[in-house]
Amino acid sequence: MAVKLNKQAIGSLSITPLIDVVFLLLIFFLVATRFAEEEREIEIELPTASQALPLTVEPREMFINIDNEGRYFIEGKFRHPEEVEQLLRSAAASNPLTQTVVIRADKTADWQHVLTAFDLCKKAGIYNYTAMTDE
């Protein structure tokens, strides 16, 4: 449906307030950019560290694989439950709020082994864990 506009109404449309808003936005962004640059212009000598990590470490999913005999595998290596707990604790220390664990268990494995893996995650302080299933 076509909209009919009155040519007289278009001619009397004032763009002065629009120009004022554009100039105010331009001034705001120029001033804000200047303050951001000042934070980096201060001459300071930063300390060095040989074992420094970035401030934000990309969280890595940890996979616990459980075979049909109930054995735990992490990174392709057989691990005893005590070793699994230790690895989970060190992963939780590296990423205290964002560490995730994916538990992949063989469908013929005893469910108790999966529950043990859940308990190990809780003991290590990791609450973002899930059991993976096939589609």
Question: What confidence tier does 115 reach under pLDDT thresholds 50, 70, 90?
Answer: very high
Provide the Cα torsion 16, 17, 18, 21; round to 10°: 130
Each residue's pLDDT tens digit, 88-105: 999 888 887 888 998 888
The structure tokens listed for 125 are 């302080």
Q: Where are the domains of the chain?
A: 10-41, 61-132
pTM attached to this predicted model: 0.55
Residue 93, amino acid: A
Please provide the distance, in angstroms rounded to a whole number, between the alpha carbons at the two ends of the chain. 48
Q: What is the pLDDT of residue 25?
A: 92
Each residue's pLDDT tens digit, 2-56: 767 666 666 667 788 889 999 999 988 887 776 655 555 555 555 566 665 555 5
CATH assignment of 61-132?
3.30.420.270
Residues in the chain: 135
